[in-house]
Chain A
Amino acid sequence: MVTSSILELGLNTESAEKIREIANEVGAFLQGDFTLSSGRKSGHYFDGKKVTLSPEGAYWVGKAIFDELKEIDVDAIGGLAIGADPIVSAVALVSHLEGKPIPSFIVRDERKEHGTKRKIEGHLQEGYRVVIVDDVITTGGSVIKAIEAAEEAGCEVVKVIVIVDRHEGGSDKLKDKGYDFTSILHLWPSGEVTVVESSAVAGEIKARLLPR
């Protein structure tokens, strides 16, 4: 049942464990008192760019996400700048090397400059089946912006993948909206980092608590 749950999540745990290891090595998991973008305070912070901008981290993130997608009909992968930038590039590169190229796009949040709309850079056409990615999901705001931009462009979001799910409502929000959501790692409010989410339904999987 452990195996079937891992398969159900569709994650290659070797890649996920490697990413967790790299995240620890590069100091991506921080402890302290942080103010998150939503205003919430947290004793933990995941600096995703430390992973995605490291050579080894970029490779394993690209591989983990590509492996998740290679059996799915996907036209493009994208996300909100700037967290998604190195992720989509890594996936695009791995996809080329694997012979199943997946073009990428970036959603710029123009709110920051002009307060009006979002702009899409890169490869996206109306009717595309797309995957939305981000380094971390907390309340879901950034991911939802990217989803909305893709859907406004006439695309279908077939999957959402993040590196770290902080389990602060964002992933539940997406699942409630019917999106196929996957996270490589889970950062729990306690600060523990797991690769496989506990199965609350069957109770047959225990979250593997990996040392940080």
Chain B
Amino acid sequence: MKLRIDSDPAKVASVRHEVEAYCQRIGLDDKACCNMGLCVNEALANVICHAYHGEAGRPIEVGLDVKDGRLTITIRDWGSGENPIAKLNHKHDPMTPGGLGMVCLRQLMDEVVFTPQPDGMLLTMSSRCRHNGCSG
């Protein structure tokens, strides 16, 4: 599945819902569907706030694919190219704002990779399907 949106915060919820619906269709259990939706939500928020610094109307592409029992989600932006992981403290302080989105990704996904592009960033995150019968 491929989705293309612009960097409008109002669009994040609809993508989250589409991701959760996709995860349901491929047979993930309810908790896994919610977790994947949350990870995409946080990744998109990170792109909007940090890669695009809140600028509206910039493109974001979201891709989802399931193969050999593994769900892979990609998020491509054409922003600043900063790697959010590099800015993240090793130990998350719950009372310090910021960084929670990346904490979610690291806790809920098996693998999170930021690949710098000549004109932005490609985030690839994947998780083994925790399911009621993941198809693909």
Q: Are chains A and B native binding partners rather than an unrelated pairing?
A: no
Write the residues of chain B forming the contact surface with A, with a CB cutoff of 8 angstroms: none
